[in-house]
Structure 1
Amino acid sequence: MRARRLRAGLRGWGGVGAMAVVCALAVLFALLLPLARSQVAGEGTPAGGQGAVRGSQAVAGEECTEPEKQTLAPSGADGPTIEAIKSREGERRKLVVGVDQNSYRWGYRDPNSGGEARLEGFDIDLVHRIAEDVLGDPDAVQFKAIPTDQRIPAIRSGRVDMVVRTMTINCSRLQDVAFSAPYFRTGQQLLAHKSSPITGYDDTLAGKKICTATGSTAFSTLEQDQRQGRLSASADLGTTVPNQLDCLVRLQLGEVDAVVTDGALAASQAAQDPTVELKGDAFTTEYYGVAMRKDADDLVRRVNQILEDYRAHTAGGWQASYDRWLSATLGGRAEAAKSAPPPPEYERDS
C-alpha cells in the first residue's frame, strides 16, 4: 500500500511539469551540443580523482574557482533587509525560511515526536539560531517546505528570506543568489543496494540507471563528467526528481540502480533503509551555505556573524547540533572534524 502511494506521488511530480522540464532540457542540449563538443575536443581529460572539486565557472565575467569564499565579511548591524523583516506585524513578524521536510536528521518531521511533529534536524537548529539573533525569538520562523529544484526560484521571487536546505555553494548558483560562509563540508557519493555490483564512482556504473535531483550539483557534476570522459557514456542519467528523497524511493522500487547525492544526505538515507549503503568514497568536495537574495547584503553579513558565533559556541552551537543529529549516521568527533567547515574567508567586496 505504501509503495503504491509513493509511486502515485512520483507520478504526480512526473506529469506535465516534468514533461516541460524534459522538453526545455532537450532544446537547451540541442543548442549547446556543438559548443560542448568543441570545448571537449579542445581539452584533454582534466585530472580528477577522489575528493576533487569539479571545474570552474565564470561569475560576473570573472573566473570562479573557490565559490565558498565569495561572501561578505560578517557584521551585526541591521540594514534594509533586516529592518523589513523586523517591521512585519503580528503573526507575520517571522523569518521566512525555505527548508526540507524529508531529509532524515537534516530537516524532517519526526512522526514519533508527538504533537504536531515539528520540523527537526541539523539545518532546523541553524534556522532557530538565526531567528533568535535577528528577531529575538528562536521560534519566530515560518518554515516553507520547498523541493530541491525550487530553492533558487523561491529566493528570487521573494517567497522566502533565505534557504537553509543542504544547499551546496557553487559558481553557477552565485549568479542567482548570495551565500553565507560555509556551515558544513561534504561531497558527492553513491548510494546503492548492498547486493549491487556497483563499487563506487567508477566503471561499475556503465549501463546503470542513476537518479539525481533536478537542479542539484549531483546532476550537473554527472553531466560534466560524462561529457569529459570521467563517467561511462553508457551510464543513464535520465532519471531526475524534484526532491532528492524521491531518488531513494526509485531505488527501493527497483527503477534505478544507484543514487548520487551529497554523502551527508546519503548516509542519512542509508540509516533509513538497511538494504542500501554508500558505495566508495566521496568524489567531490562541497560546502553547504545559507542562500539569500543577491541584494540582501546586510542579511548575508548578519548570517555570517551568526555562523562565526555558532561554530565557536560548543555548548549550544555547531558541535552540539552535530552530536545530536548527525553523529549516529556520520560518526563521532573524528568524523565531525571532517565535516566542519574550514575557517571562513570573505572575498566578496559588495
Structure 2
Amino acid sequence: MRVRRLRSGLRGWGGVGAMAVVCVLALAFVLVLPATRSHGGPPPAAGGAGAARGVQARAGDCDDGDVQNRSLAPADADGPAVERIRKRGSLVVGVDQNSYGWGYRNPNSTSDDLDGFDIALARRIAQDLLGSPTKVTFRAIPTNEREHAVESGRVDLVVRTMTITCKRLEKVAFSAPYFLTGQQVLAPRTSPITGYDASLAGKKVCSATGSTAYDHLSADRKSGALPASTDISTTVPNQLDCLVRLQLGDVDAVVTDGALAASQAAQDPAVELKGGTFTKEYYGVAMQRGADDLVRQVNRSLEDYRKDGGWKAAYDHWLSATLGKDSESATPPAPAYR
C-alpha cells in the first residue's frame, strides 16, 4: 500500500519535508479512522430518553484554579450511557493520530494501529468496560472539534490531551485529571525568544483554534501581560500544523501544552522549548454532560490504572524520554471529587 510505504519512510519525523508529508496524510485520515479491531457503529446523539441529569459544575460557579477537582466519584455504575456502549460492544473514542507519544501512527511500524499514552488509556477503559482492550473504535478528531464530537454523540469519549476548564464544562463532562502539564513556548534553537515574555514582542505566534493556548494568548495580550505587538492571528485546526508552520518559517514560535511541545522538540532537533511552563493544566477524559454513569466508570478505571501501575508503565514507555523520569508530569495527579 502506497500510504504505508510513505509512512515507513518518515523515520523519526524530523525535518520540514517529513512533517509536511505527515500532515498531508493526516488530512486524508481525519474523521475517517477505521475501527481498530472493533465492531459496531457510532453512538447515538446526545440527549436520549432516560439519560441521567448531570451534576457537574457549570462555568458560572466554577474556578479554573480547582476545576480538576469537580468530577464525580468513581463507582461501578450502570446507566443508559454504559448500557449503550455494552450493547454496541465497542467503545468509540475520539483521539489524535499525529501527536508523537500521545496518539500517533508509528512511521517505523508495519501496523496501522495507533500508539501513545492516550491510546493506552483508551484501551484500558475499553478493557474495564467491555472486557477487552481491542473493543475500541478510534476516530481522529481535530483539536477544534473535540467538544462538538462529544456533544453530537459522534464519540463516547475524547481522550486527546484535552485540558479541563470551566469554559469546557459548559459543553462536556470531564473525568478526574489523568495528567498534569502547562503551557510553554516552542521556537527554533537559534531564535532570540527566551520564553513567554517580552521576547515575543513583534513575533508571530501560532496556536490551535479552540485551545487553551490561544485563550491565554488572547487574554494576556488584552491585559498587557503579553506585548501588544505579538501577532497571535495564526491559528490552525490541529496543533501539529503549528510545528509545520514553524519549520517553514511562517511563524516565529508556537504556544502549546509543554507535554506536546516536548514531544515535538524530540522529533525535530532544530526546535526547542523556551522557558518553563507558565500555567498549570490538567488533562481529562471528556464525555457527554448527563452521562454520570459513564463518568463514574471512567473515574473507576483511572483510579485502578493509577493504583496497579498501569499509568506509570505507560508514562515510562511513551513519555519519559521526552518529559523526563523525575518531572512534575511523571506522577499521576491525585484526584479529588465533587
Q: TM-score, normalised by structure 1?
A: 0.80
Cα distance in 2, alignment partners of residues 268 and 209 from structure 1: 22
The answer to whether the 8 Å contact 2:118/2:160 transfers is yes
- Aligned residue type for 2:178: Y
The answer to whether the 8 Å contact 2:77/2:294 transfers is no
Change (3 A) 1:8 1:306: closer
Q: Deviations over 1:286-342 (max 9, x none)?
A: 00000000011000000001111101112xx0000001000110111x12x544343
Partner of 2:226: 231
Matching of residue 61 in structure 1 with residue 60 in structure 2: yes
Partner of 1:113: 109
Cα distance in 1, alignment partners of residues 82 and 167 from structure 2: 26
Cα distance in 2, alignment partners of residues 151 and 143 from structure 1: 13
Partner of 1:324: 317
Q: State the Cα distance separating 1:114 from its structure 2 match.
A: 1.3
The answer to whether the 8 Å contact 1:74/1:301 transfers is yes
Partner of 1:82: 82
Partner of 2:92: 96
The answer to whether the 8 Å contact 2:193/2:200 transfers is yes
Secondary structure (helix, strand or coil) at the match of 2:273 reads strand
Q: State the Cα distance separating 1:237 from its structure 2 match.
A: 0.4
The answer to whether the 8 Å contact 1:206/1:233 transfers is yes
Partner of 2:156: 161
Cα distance in 2, alignment partners of residues 207 and 102 from structure 1: 30
Change (3 A) 1:238 1:9: farther
Matching of residue 126 in structure 1 with residue 121 in structure 2: yes
Q: State the Cα distance separating 1:343 from its structure 2 match.
A: 1.7
1:280 to 257, 272, 275: 275
Q: State the Cα distance separating 1:213 from its structure 2 match.
A: 0.3
1:269 to 246, 264, 275: 264
Q: Deviations over 1:137-194 (max 9, x none)?
A: 1000000011000000100000000000000001100000000000000000000000
Cα distance in 1, alignment partners of residues 102 and 20 from structure 2: 24
Q: Deviations over 1:238-288 (max 9, x none)?
A: 000000000000000000000000000000000000000000000000000
The correspondence of residues 176-215 of structure 1 with structure 2, limited to 5 A, is 176-215=171-210
Secondary structure (helix, strand or coil) at the match of 1:172 reads helix
Change (3 A) 1:172 1:301: same
The answer to whether the 8 Å contact 2:92/2:138 transfers is yes
Q: State the Cα distance separating 1:2 from its structure 2 match.
A: 3.6
Q: State the Cα distance separating 1:6 from its structure 2 match.
A: 5.3
- Aligned residue type for 1:319: K
1:340 to 310, 331, 334: 331
Total equivalences in the alignment: 293
Q: State the Cα distance separating 1:85 from its structure 2 match.
A: 0.8
The answer to whether the 8 Å contact 1:186/1:339 transfers is no
The answer to whether the 8 Å contact 2:127/2:135 transfers is yes
- Aligned residue type for 1:110: N
Q: Deviations over 1:100-123 (max 9, x none)?
A: 00000100000212132x100000
Cα distance in 1, alignment partners of residues 86 and 23 from structure 2: 42
Secondary structure (helix, strand or coil) at the match of 2:166 reads coil
Cα distance in 1, alignment partners of residues 274 and 23 from structure 2: 29
- Aligned residue type for 2:255: V
Cα distance in 1, alignment partners of residues 335 and 22 from structure 2: 43
* Structure 1 runs of 4+ with >4 Å offset: 3-10
1:255 to 240, 250, 261: 250
- Aligned residue type for 1:166: T
Partner of 1:44: none
Cα distance in 1, alignment partners of residues 151 and 62 from structure 2: 24
The answer to whether the 8 Å contact 1:183/1:340 transfers is no
2:304 to 293, 297, 309: 309
Change (3 A) 1:2 1:276: closer
Change (3 A) 1:343 1:179: same
Change (3 A) 1:322 1:142: same
Secondary structure (helix, strand or coil) at the match of 1:248 reads helix
Q: State the Cα distance separating 1:3 from its structure 2 match.
A: 7.3
The answer to whether the 8 Å contact 2:92/2:139 transfers is yes
> Sequence identity of aligned pairs in percent?
63
Q: TM-score, normalised by structure 2?
A: 0.83
The answer to whether the 8 Å contact 1:182/1:344 transfers is yes
